[in-house]
Amino acid sequence: MKSAIIRTPASVGFLSELNASYAELSAQDILRDAIEDRFAGRIGIVSSFGAESVILLHMIASIDPTTPVIFLNTGKLFGETLRYRDRLQALLGLTDIRAIGPHPDDLKKSDPKGNLWQRDTDGCCHIRKVLPQARAIGGFDALITGRKRFQTGARQEMDIIEQDSDGRFKVNPLANWQLDDLKTYIETHNLPRHPLVKDGYLSIGCMPCTARVEEGGDYRSGRWAGSDRDECGIHIDGDGI
């Protein structure tokens, strides 16, 4: 077993070396190393149970199905997403899915009518995503994410493993994957897709802020359609994680 990484600031050189070693590994081997060795017992995954979530969940279930899965139920999700979560939990044998949600006091104070998304999408994401997730990840030294470089401009330069200012690590095993890689994995392993994908939803979040992608449209153009935002805040250092 390798020496475990503890949640303290790592040197730039150390992160560079670790990223170089991970660059030679498959996504499955990156996960195995992170789950079984480097962050054993102190790592979880944040999953939206969205369009491609099944890929990482399938990989993780084959390594350790007891790995904690943090599922952020904002209260604004599609019913299809909730049913898909239940289906994947049963199919993959995941034993520790933790559904978290916004605090009632935050909703009462900032969104009593449930329509904050109409006038302030940043504020809505903050109370329904950022704050709940920040509360839920306190005991983890590392989190697995499904982010890919092709998804947004801000993600194009991200590393396979990163560290936030609070010392927590982010492991991005699919950073180098493209859309064709995702499709191939799902088809090869005969995994169920999110039911909304066939209806043109390519990136799936909350119901009020997710739209179908028009033919030839950008992969994430259905998220916060009509605005220039492409992140909800949970992956921005200093904004919850």
- Whether residue 67 contacts residue 165, with contact meaning beta carbons closer than 8 Å, is answered with no
Q: Give the lowest-confidence range in 120-124, 151-155, 222-226, 229-233.
A: 229-233
Cβ burial of 220 (10 Å; 0-12, 13-18, 19+) is middle
Cβ burial of 192 (10 Å; 0-12, 13-18, 19+) is exposed
Residue ranges of alpha helices (H) inside 24-103 are 27-33, 53-63, 79-92
Q: Does residue 105 belong to any structural domain of this protein?
A: yes
Counting residues of the chain whose pLDDT is more than 70, the rounded percentage is 83
The pTM assigned to this predicted structure is 0.84
Cβ burial of 9 (10 Å; 0-12, 13-18, 19+) is exposed
Q: Of 83, 81, 26, 88, which is closest to residue 57 (Cα–Cα)?
A: 88
Q: Does residue 98 belong to any structural domain of this protein?
A: yes
Q: Does residue 224 belong to any structural domain of this protein?
A: no
| The pLDDT of residue 52 | 87
d(CA 158, CA 112): 37
Whether the per-residue pLDDT at 234 is higher than 70: the answer is no
Q: Residue 59 belongs to a domain with what CATH number?
A: 3.40.50.620
Whether the per-residue pLDDT at 162 is higher than 50: the answer is yes
Q: Does residue 205 belong to any structural domain of this protein?
A: yes
d(CA 230, CA 221): 8
Q: Does residue 238 belong to any structural domain of this protein?
A: no
d(CA 225, CA 151): 15
Q: Does residue 234 belong to any structural domain of this protein?
A: no
Domain hosting 44: range is: 12-209
- Of residues 25 and 13, more confidence is placed in 25
d(CA 211, CA 204): 8
Please give the average per-residue pLDDT across 88-117, as a whole number: 96
Q: Does residue 2 belong to any structural domain of this protein?
A: no
Q: Of 230, 212, 94, which is closest to residue 151 (Cα–Cα)?
A: 230
Q: Determine the distance from the C-alpha atom of residue 142 to the mean position of all C-alpha atoms in its chain, rounded to a whole number.
A: 13
Whether the per-residue pLDDT at 161 is higher than 80: the answer is yes
Domain count, the chain: 1
Please give the average per-residue pLDDT across 183-207, as a whole number: 92
Q: What are 116-141's pLDDT values in tens digits?
A: 999 998 999 999 999 999 999 999 99
Give the mean pLDDT of the chain: 86
Catalytic amino acids?
232
Q: Does residue 76 belong to any structural domain of this protein?
A: yes
Whether the per-residue pLDDT at 95 is higher than 60: the answer is yes
